[in-house]
Structure 1
């Protein structure tokens, strides 16, 4: 019997946990750089912490998918929450007993960064296990709206918490949020038992072998391979520009924190709107998701090209809304393809491998954006992004992504097979 999303308790718990985790992540992302400055006063060491976060992310992309596929995902999410509670709590404890150092802070941050990235892999992999197949577009749309809403609220809520409680008081709130997260995971029900491999033998060798299987799986499925490498080019086009936007608004346009906040809010609204309409838009283009990806990419490219010519907060805000709307639609379509066409027991590896490959050009995007902004002007960063995205849409046409079969009916079992 089909269960509607509004009555699907496991799904409701998952989206609730996603909201809580994003708020907790926003608080953590704001507190940790401030702690580095508190302990050392060094912006260089802040950069080192950022690099550690990137290393943790790539390690999870390499091995996290195999971990997510080798254990019961409910238990894995519970374990992640427990580790986050323990390690975030060590910071104020170490400070209280007078042994907190930058080395200990880096160790704690590295473990938490691993947990945050692994949570993302396990979280999105669990959706097809608790949601009916024909509800996946709607489920992904709601998830996108929840993520965008929490991402919009997170920095503001975090700033209020830090201002009211200070750095170390805020960390206890972070630990409390992770405890609430643990509570939501404990009440997950109706989990399918398709996420355990038959051999049941989990060790570093099997994790390595399963990680390689994830990469092989990506290369085995023709459309997945095309989408992943195409997405790498797409991310190359957007990553540097998104990171340079705040610099552009402050240095070139002259916006203060209020104006920048308004523009960022418009971007969050774009993400929320994309989630609200995703299922309906996907239904209209059913069987023609490739066309929808092309249209979304073209629209984002045009918005980037228009961005340097806008000067008022409302025009920049509307353009940024359009950019984030399009990016969210494209990203969710690729995630939906993986959920539709990869067996549940391989989902973690498929998502991890796709993110590993598709993010390979992101550092180059940041480097080029920084060099252009410093030597030519930030507006050329946006113009280049627009050109790259328009070229990406041409590549999508040349790759014939809409001529592939987007839905393989043999891969996902019905929810009725779950326990």
Structure 2
């Protein structure tokens, strides 16, 4: 039987063969992402010395993902999702592989303004498709646990990637390190090819689905979000939180390099140590959500994150910065896993791509503006005042969430929604 026509495998637990292969593949992809996560800012900073340009590239990537969000959900709900993930991995391998080749002849910073956002297009499409996979591989009561394991693998990758990027960047330069990023995407694509999962959305779309416009598909996702009280509120509050935090890693890199005078290798160690927080979040999120409920987990996580970001503005040594980044990533890990699990629990499979891409697109809209504005403010007024302002705003948003359906509904996965 051709691979694309394979019968769907039964879903059991977060330990099945296909889930293990998917987990391994996503870990490799995450290693690549975490390498570029450090290497790209270091490449820009080494070439230009400007935190503003770092923020501009981050903002452009966010713009690219927002635009991609208008159609990536419809694509994920129409096509074979396994094949889509493979294409996205191979495309990113080619794009990032071009950077060290071109840098070997002459540094071309302008090229990053092209390659990195285009890679962001494929990253967004892959992220949307990735969210649709887990509910197809595991039972509903295993979703949060499975997402926790995926986040745990990302945490391991998050330790390995920045450590490698920082150490190797100091020896070979950040451009050469990006070649490793490209190789991990090739390996990830190979793993996805081994899946027995057929990748076809269930139930299949109606025969006239191909004639619908991407805008109408986007509106389907928007109507679903608008009809679910908790998802609607999450989308609104996360819009402001994304504005505040999208450029935060750029600010941390600038703080460690510029204010604390540390080399590339230390930047890698700080960010690698920070991802320990993600690992702890992934291991504890199921218990935290079980004890506090969705609202308590999400609101509490962002309240603590606000206090931590404010503390980053006062951190005067590398060890404290690493600890605070770790706690911040713990908070965003708890909130992010709970949010993704909730969407997977309440959204029908054939709508999951559109709902996911619409959710991310809408709440990411303010991100590019925030990344550009806040990194510019950090360059002008210093990291301390900017982090204090960001932290205070995050605390205010978390407090406001207590008076919304997020804080009032103990079991939002049982709430009604409209298609």
TM category (shorter chain) comes to 0.7 to 0.9
Determine the structure 2 residue equivalent to 1:406.
Answer: 412
Q: Give CA deviations for 1:307-346 in whole Å, capped at 9, x if unaligned.
A: 3344343333222221111111112111111011111111
Equivalent-residue separation in structure 2 for 1:352 and 1:370 (angstroms): 26
TM-score for both structures, normalised by structure 1: 0.81
TM-fit CA distance, 1:67: 0.6
- 1:19-44 deviation per Cα after TM superposition (whole angstroms, max 9, x unaligned): 11122334556777899999x99989
Check 1:160–1:238 CA distance in 2 against 1; reply closer, same or farther (3 A cut): closer
Give the Cα separation in 1 of the matches to 2:259 and 2:49.
Answer: 27
SS in 2 for 1:407: helix
* Structure 2 residue 355 is the aligned partner of structure 1 residue 350: yes
The DSSP-based 3-state class of the residue aligned with 1:185 is: helix
Q: Distance in 2 between matches of 1:368 and 1:148?
A: 29
Displacement of 1:259: 4.4
1:378 to 359, 376, 383: 383
2:164 is equivalent to residue 157 of structure 1: yes
Partner of 2:339, secondary structure, is: helix
Matched, 1:187 2:194: yes
The partner residue of 1:341 within 346, 350, 361 is 346
Q: CA deviation at 1:392?
A: 0.9
- Do residues 18 (structure 1) and 26 (structure 2) align? yes
Bigger radius of gyration among the two: 1
Mapped to 1, the partners of 2:189 and 2:80 lie a distance apart of 15
> Does residue 1:4 correspond to 2:4, yes or no?
no
2:228 maps to: 221
The separation in 2 between residues aligned to 1:36 and 1:305, in whole angstroms, is 26
Deviation at 1:227? 0.9
SS in 2 for 1:398: coil
Q: Determine the C-alpha separation between the residues in 1 that align with 2:45 and 2:313.
A: 34
| 1:416 aligned partner | none
Which secondary structure state, in structure 1, belongs to the residue aligned with residue 205 of structure 2? coil
- Tell me how large the CA RMSD over aligned residues is: 3.8
Q: Give 3-state SS (helix, strand or coil) of 2:246's partner.
A: helix
User: 2:252 matched to which residue of 1?
Assistant: 245
Determine the C-alpha separation between the residues in 1 that align with 2:109 and 2:306: 42
Give the SS at the match of 2:275. helix
Where does the alignment leave 5 or more consecutive residues of structure 2 unmatched? 1-9
Q: Does structure 1 residue 67 correspond to structure 2 residue 67?
A: no
Secondary structure (helix, strand or coil) at the match of 1:128 reads helix
Once residues 33 and 267 of structure 1 are traced to their aligned partners in structure 2, the CA distance between those partners, rounded to angstroms, is 17
Give structure 1 stretches of 5+ with no counterpart: 412-419
SS of the residue corresponding to residue 124 of structure 2 reads: helix
* Count of matched residue pairs: 406
Shift of 1:111: 4.5
Matching residue of 1:57: 65
